[in-house]
Structure 1
């Protein structure tokens, strides 16, 4: 890793810690909420004291000026009440967890997807599925998916991204009226990768497109929350506009560690009422 990359990652770590510090209420850690408190959330000196580290050192940590030990990061994570996903993210930013490789496959037509993954989802005749690059670019899809949703091949390559389609494509939003929770979960999944690769060109490009596509969702993009994708049941409205019916699917994100630079497969399993 270059010095510039290390500096960028330290900066992301500091920003991440500060965001969580500022939204943690004093009473959540047993401190009184005084009326003259001007700082949102906890003060730096409070986090330092509760974590057993010096104020100056913690300040430098938030400013991205120093490296630190895993023990210190574990202590700070406990103080900030980080969940498992956020704690692992902190360790990854500090270099204590394996980095995800940059995805260098071509996106767009599905030719960049691993042949085995394409063959696998192609055999799922009743389960719509996508192969996704780490930045959620759609690299392959099966017939069941393009029969249910707009065909990804009909979109320009630079827009062929699941998160972009969910937040900015009216056709997807008509089919998925409850698209927002799904998009937020995918964004937390993406953020976990974006913070560990702040200089990755594709990560930067998607971040810019998200801001440009939906500036009204700036609070989403500014949030530092990270996490794994939670399996969920989604409702897809019938696309023919006839009777206004809908179908339910159980959505899951299957990670493909070691392939496609840490990509994943999104699979929608038909609900029981559909005879799956």
Structure 2
């Protein structure tokens, strides 16, 4: 006699199996469309596989070949968000494909590329109304969730940065345009590492935070050095100086406006400290509108 629990378990199990097969087929299709030259690999005379080989995807994503093979064979294995993120980068997935990958794997995309329900139309309108003052909305992990046009040009061209890389920590430590625009770069990097450590205390073990920390350590010796200092600094208003590539030197007052009772999403604003900066921000806003 079949129980009600057994009847409900069968469709659920079947649904998970279907998703695994869909995930396997999707990975194969994305792998086969990428030419070796696109990821810096030689094609070679004996290559018969269209696109990349399984072992090449595994190597580029820093996962085991056997494990990745099982994934393409629709085996019942757990896939972490860190691995999904690495596969999405290796396979050059666009935002829609990335979202599809995470959905098939039954995981939540922790990057700022994912939709954030806290960014309401009212908040986007507020960002627009603040112009020419640069403003954005960040979470406690320093992901840039939304921004106005002036902020997009404050330290370069933020629109040209892939959504999953729009994180202030990553940009300060790895993006040439951002680094060139920050007047006191060494001090800023040290301060931000200390602020990240303070913020991370409430999120230890969370996949998105672990993934960010792993990326920073892998990408930047300067971050590794600052992180090992074990310094901790809370959030605070601060005067900042930037060498903007479009309008020159800017002196700004950085202010955090919290969007809830807990230290989570916040609106970050940069108000001018002098008349010269005010005029240059207005010019920057006009340039941003015209682009």
Task: Give the alignment partner of residue 138 of structure 1, picking from 116, 135, 144.
Answer: 144
Aligned twin of 2:272: 270
Which structure 2 residues correspond to residues 147-158 of structure 1 after superposition, within 5 A?
A: 147-158=153-164
Deviation at 1:165, TM superposition (A): 0.3
Paired positions, count: 170
* Change over 3 Å in CA distance of 1:208–1:275 after alignment to 2: closer
Displacement of 1:215 in angstroms is 2.1
Answer yes or no: is the 8 Å Cα contact 1:255–1:265 preserved in 2. yes
From 172, 177, 181, the counterpart of 1:175: 181
Q: CA deviation at 1:198?
A: 1.2
Deviations 1:110-168 (A, max 9, x none): 75542133222221112111111121111001011113233333212331101110111
Aligned to 2:127: 121
Give the whole-Å Cα distance in 2 for the aligned partners of 1:122 and 1:110. Answer: 19
Q: TM-score, normalised by structure 2?
A: 0.52
Note the C-alpha offset of 1:105: 7.5
- Report what 2:226 is aligned to: 220
Corresponding residue for residue 52 of structure 2: none
**Superposition deviation, residue 269 in structure 1:** 0.5
Cα distance per residue 1:87-117 (max 9 Å; x no partner) = xxxxxxxxxxxxxxxx987623775542133
Structure 1 unaligned regions, length at least 5: 1-102
Structure 2 CA distance for aligned equivalents of residues 249 and 195 of structure 1: 29
SS of the residue 1:148 aligns to: coil
Structure with bigger gyration radius: 2
C-alpha distance in 1, partners of 2:114/2:270? Answer: 21
Contact 1:235 1:248 in 2 (8 A): yes
The structure-2 alpha-carbon separation of the partners of 1:111 and 1:214, relative to structure 1 and needing over 3 Å to count, comes to same
Larger RCO: 1 or 2 (CA < 8 Å, sep 6+): 1
Q: Which has the higher helix share?
A: 2
Partners in 1 of 2:131 and 2:123 — Cα distance? 14
Deviation at 1:186, TM superposition (A): 2.8
- Divergent runs of 4+, >3 A: 103-106, 109-113
Which of 241, 254, 257 aligns to 2:257? It is 254
Structure-to-structure mapping, 1:1-276, within 5 angstroms? 107-108=112-113, 112-115=117-120, 116-240=122-246, 245-258=248-261, 262-274=264-276, 276=278
Query: Gaps spanning 5+ residues in structure 2: where?
Result: 1-107, 279-291
Over the residues paired in the alignment, what is the CA RMSD in angstroms?
2.7
CA distance change for structure 1 residues 240 and 147 in 2, over 3 Å: closer, same or farther? closer
The separation in 2 between residues aligned to 1:105 and 1:136, in whole angstroms, is 12
| 1:179 Cα deviation after fit | 2.6
The question of whether the paired residues in 2 share the 8 Å contact of 1:108 and 1:153 is answered with no
